[in-house]
Amino acid sequence: MERKTKVNAEDGKQEIVITREFDLPLDLLFKAYVEPEIVEQWMGTKVLKLENKQHGGYRFETSDPQGNVVLRTNGVIHEFVPNEKITRTFEMENTPFAVQLEFLEFESLADDTSKLNMHIVFRSVELRDQLLKLPFAQGINMAHNRLQDIVSKLK
């Protein structure tokens, strides 16, 4: 089966391209990025601010199951063309990661299918690679934590 979500990260480049085809009409796909209550549902974040217009901004907040805020993200919207594109910056507050630039392009494939092309540009190759490795590193840390739990129980 062909993978629906593809990530293209060429060696030595400070950008990545994420593409995904959806079993959704274009307007519904775009709506998922526009309506705050819908964004909250699929992103699993709280939307503090979302101004869908040129020079608008957004701010999201992620909490752990106990309700402690673990991450705030924000950005500025540079271009907003309904059912076509959103150009914006993205920043994770209080992290070593520098702000990144995102080009989101929405495209209709058929009546009930659509495609999202997400082009992300980073400040440096190093920062891009670090961000790419984040879920991988988290996986390793989780495995380590489990191992430490087991070891500590053996003591």
Partner 1 sequence: MNLRRDVFQAIADPTRRAILLLVASQSMTAGAIAANFDSARPTVSKHLQILTECELLEQEQNGREMYYHLNPKKIKEIADFIEPFREMWDQRFNKLETVMKRYQARDGKKNKG
List of residues contacting partner 1 (CB under 8 A)? 3-7, 9, 18, 20, 22-24, 28-29, 31-32, 38, 41-44, 116, 132-141, 144, 147-148, 151
Nearer to partner 1, 54 or 141 (CB): 141
Minimum Å distance from CB 35 to partner 1? 9
Nearer to partner 1, 55 or 146 (CB): 146
Cα–Cα distances in Å, from 29 out to 50, 86, 96, 149, 155?
17, 13, 31, 42, 52
Q: Computed over its alpha carbons, how large is the radius of gyration of the chain?
A: 18
Neighbour-count burial for 56-84, b at 16+ CB within 10 Å, e otherwise? eebbbbeeeeeeeeeebbbbbbeebeeee
Instruction: For residue 8, give the DSSP letter.
Output: E
Minimum Å distance from CB 16 to partner 1? 9
Nearer to partner 1, 44 or 82 (CB): 44
Minimum Å distance from CB 11 to partner 1? 11
